[in-house]
Amino acid sequence: MQEAKHITIVSNGRKVVLNISTILYVLMIKKIVEIHISGGKIYQTRMTLSELEENLGDGFIKVHRGCLVSAMAIHDISDNINLNNGESLIYTIRKKNQIIEQFRSKQKSIISSFRKDGIPTTEEEYRKHYSSFENLPFAFTDIEMIFNEESHAVDWIFRYGNPALAKLEKLPLKRLIGSSFGSLFSNMDSKWLRSYERATLYGETLEIIDYSPEIDTYLKVICFPTFKGHCGCILFDISEIKFTKNSSDAEKALMLYFGQLPDKND
């Protein structure tokens, strides 16, 4: 991931300090710049795109006259720029090859910057590092992402898993640890890759609630960055989760959880 560099802007009459690594893309709308942040927030400021481009550094790609996109936020490029968060952006089609080349170059630079320092090298070292996870009542795994030559995430390897993971995946840990997901499940659904790639490259903590055809189970998964090139995943079988309403605030909390209420900090 990028180093924690920051820019200061004036938005709605107040100074705001933004971590550059959280910026997904920037749009120029007339004389106003819209800065789109991971998590859905948008900040508006008066600044030229060239000024902002200089401040953001070389981790961004100019995809058309009024748009800069973080290379780390791009999942792939087809007829649109497809972002890791599910959004799609238009770009200058005649510059498609140039934009793809810039994207591949920057993604390769990001991935090659992953250092092995401090990362366990054996199954025993992983188990020692995650010893406190061994007896948890929910599944946990640390996975290492696999990228192809075009720097796209294509699979992942299980580096650590607790006994609850083996129960959920319906496979013994001996088969899971050190194996790629795709080699274990021929019906691998690539929808998981986008979120895990996001957590690994962009440093986000994400929650996914979806059906897993691989194990015929509806899952709730919380993924977050761990080591460079890795992410951790906490997995729950939704059928085993019981919701309890303990106060009058529970309904409001649920609405906030599902994005039906504005964030109290807005």
| Tens digit of each residue's pLDDT (9 = 90 or more) over 101-142 | 888 888 777 777 676 778 999 999 999 999 999 999 999 999
pLDDT at 66 over 60: yes
Mean pLDDT of all residues in 241-248: 82
Domain 123-240 in the same topology as domain 6-112: no
Query: Residue 265 — pLDDT band, cuts 50, 70, 90?
Result: very low
Handedness of CA 219, 76, 4, 15 (dihedral sign): negative
Q: What would the mean pLDDT of 2-21 be, rounded to a whole number?
A: 83
Q: What is the 3-state secondary structure (H, E, C) of 114-158?
A: CCCCCCCCCHHHHHHHCHHHCCCCCEEEEEEEEECCCCCEEEEEE
Parallel, antiparallel, or unpaired: how do β-strands 217-225 and 230-237 relate?
antiparallel
Domain covering 123-240 assigned CATH 3.30.450.20 in the classification: yes
Note the pTM of the prediction, 2 decimals. 0.68
| Domain spans, the chain | 6-112, 123-240
Fold of 6-112: OB fold (Dihydrolipoamide Acetyltransferase, E2P) (2.40.50)
